[in-house]
Structure 1
Amino acid sequence: MPRHAIDFTLGSRRLLRVPRDLATWGFGLDDALARDLPCAPTPGPDGVRVLSAPIARLADVAACYPGFVAGARQDYRRHYIAMDGDFAGYMARFSGKTRATLRRKARKLADRPGGYHVTAHRTPAEIEAFLAAALPLSARTYQARLLGAGLPGDAAARRGMLEAAEDDRMRAFLLHAGGMPVAYLSLPVSGRTLVYAHLGYDPDFAQWSVGTVLQIEALERLFAEARFARFDFTEGEGAHKALFGTHHALCTSLVLLSPTLANRALLGARGAFDAGTARAKALAARSGALGGVRALLRR
């Protein structure tokens, strides 16, 4: 049974992990938008981790595991791009101010010595080249250092990406500036949906908005393929996802644990931690210190 953990996270920094043996019930974007629930898995010894279930069906999800205790719940908008038009039409949805800001970010990076360029990777050989450049970069990102959520480089993950590339189910992009890769984007393909799996960038280039520049460059190329129906930003909120998404589904992620005393205590502690964090965030927002706190937590 896969080993998972209940995380206690402050901003982008994980403070504590409590391991549990959980089955995973993950909802794809099509599942989140559909009326019918996918087949519920057999629970693990400690229960089930539910990812991105539609909030409107949460009671039905919980009913699949009677007696289990729910906790560590996170509600969010699952953002996605409806790719039913062309890139020009997509860009037209932004305000004139936002379009000008995006152009300015690209110009600012282009004006650096050496400028920048983007490489696209989809064949097995191209994915190998992507991994060779992106994995060392990923190790430097705050996602990898603080959350353990960098680009996976283990043998199984590499094999999965190469097999997907063999079937033309993989898209990846690298942004190069100053003669080196500074941002990466990895997008497995599920049917006609692009899945936003991993985006990372060199922290030394954060001021140049390289993740934003790469996102726009990649979207222009992906729209030009005229193959995809959606770009799925997957579970979780974020300013980046909200900016680029055109639609959203209301979703929730949570765990359903077997009702042991230890599990009840764990979920109670996590609930108290989340409530305290929310109060601290609200206080920081009112005082104007929220941005500084977030920057500090990423160090």
Structure 2
Amino acid sequence: MSRIALRFQIGARTILTVHRTLTRLALSLDAALAGAVPSLPPQEGEGYLITSLPAALIDRIDRSGRVALVRQRYTRFYTDLTIGHDAWLASLSGSARATLRRKMRKAEAAGMTIRAYRTAADFAAFHPLARAVSATTYQERLLDAGLPDDPAAVAHLAACAAADGLRAWLMRIDDAPVAYLCCTAQGSALRYDHVGHDPAYGDLSPGTVLHAAALRDLFGDRFARFDFTEGEGQHKRQFATGGIACVDLLLLRPTLSNRALALALATFDGMIARAKRAAVDPRIAALARKVRR
């Protein structure tokens, strides 16, 4: 049980944050693929937040009179690491393969080098370099999702490395750290936990290039899947070989304040969803371009 921020967000921008003390159940990729209905522990606080719940299981969750709200729907993407690197490349479209080769050549011409890290000693060398990159990223500035630097989180990552449960990569351009990827094991999968690149090098597509290099390494590793975790994105869709439809489900005690909060969140989320659909309309997009001028 912990104090969890329930955000009213537009893209990466948080408009308002309301906190509730909730029990969070974060399903692993293995659990989501297994399709078993999760058991809710005895309730403490204001309720539960269940993340990566397979969408097919929503109606099978014991709500017991609680206020239920789906915060988001998404595909939890993953890459099957048992098929081999050549088969994975073949699963990409011809244009995607050509684009990836072009980006690789461009980064190599700029002086790119990539190093992999996996042991506890490796992680001690990796962390300060990756932290320097993380400080420049939008993940840290806007989403509070940079590479951790608090002692407890760093100690946890170091322990994962000591137990052969961490894989990390760092890209340099002419010896300057420009992108990092730090992943930890969960069951048979390796999780896409912490990622970022220096925006000053964005024209080199460092995130895409680094991830492609990491996958090349992982096809010979011990993991069955690479887990892109919650949320979607073009990069995830392109590199994934499969996915499972999931939701994040909020269950709250049926108090007056919680009912009001759920209504406000549902109204706001619905408004944002309608705005996104409208933005796809060519007429709306053309009007938006005129306004920006």
Return the offset for 1:85. Answer: 1.9
Letter in 1 for 2:210: L
Amino acid at match of 1:233: F
Contact persistence 1:83–1:231 (CA under 8 A)? yes
RMSD of aligned Cα (Å): 1.8
Instruction: Give 2:144's aligned residue.
Output: 148
Read off the aligned partner of 2:48 and give its amino acid letter.
V
1:217-232 superposed matches below 5 A: 217-225=213-221, 227-232=222-227
Aligned length: 288
- The aligned residue for residue 274 of structure 1 is 269
- Mapped partners of 1:188, 1:11: distance in 2: 26
Q: Does 1:7 align with 2:7?
A: yes
Which residue of the other structure, out of 152, 164, 184, is the alignment partner of 1:168?
Answer: 164
How far the C-alpha of 1:36 sits from its partner, in A, is: 2.1
For 1:20 and 1:191, locate their aligned partners in 2 and report how far apart those are by CA, in whole Å: 29
Whole-angstrom distance in 1 between the partners of 2:249 and 2:202 = 32
Query: How far apart are residue 219 of structure 1 and its match?
Result: 0.5
Aligned residue in 2 for 1:215: 211
* Structure 2: 5+ residue stretches without partners: none
Show the counterpart of 2:78: 80
Normalised by the size of structure 2, how large is the TM-score? 0.93
Q: Which amino acid aligns with 2:212?
A: I
The equivalences for 1:148-297 within 5 A come to 148-225=144-221, 227-287=222-282, 289=285
**Identity %, equivalent residues:** 44
TM-score by length of 1: 0.91
* Higher deviation after alignment, 178-187 or 31-40: 31-40
Looking at structure 2, the residues matched to 143 and 204 of structure 1 have their Cα atoms a distance apart, in angstroms, of 15
Letter in 2 for 1:95: S
Q: 2: CA distance between counterparts of 1:157 and 1:44?
A: 25
AA of the residue aligned to 2:23:
A
Deviations 1:174-225 (A, max 9, x none): 1111321111111101233111111111111222110000000000011123
Q: Is the 8 A contact 2:70 2:247 kept in 1?
A: no
Relative distance call for 1:41 and 1:289 in structure 2 (3 A) is farther
Question: What corresponds to 1:42 in structure 2?
Answer: 42
1:135 alignment partner in structure 2: 131
Measure the CA separation in 2 of the matches of 1:13 and 1:204.
21
Amino acid in the other structure paired with 2:56: A
Q: Could you tell me which amino acid in structure 1 is paired with residue 24 of structure 2? A: T
2:96 aligns with one of 98, 102, 107: 98
Selected match of 2:67 from 45, 66, 69: 69
Secondary structure at the residue paired with 1:174?
strand
Contact 2:76 2:244 survives alignment (8 Å): yes
Q: CA deviation at 1:72?
A: 4.6
Q: 1:289 to 1:215 in 2, by over 3 A?
A: farther
Cα distance in 1 for partners of 2:184, 2:16 equals 30
Which structure 1 residue ranges, 5 or more long, are not aligned?
A: none
| AA in 2 matched with 1:106 | M
- 1:206 and 1:284 map into 2 onto residues whose CA distance is 25
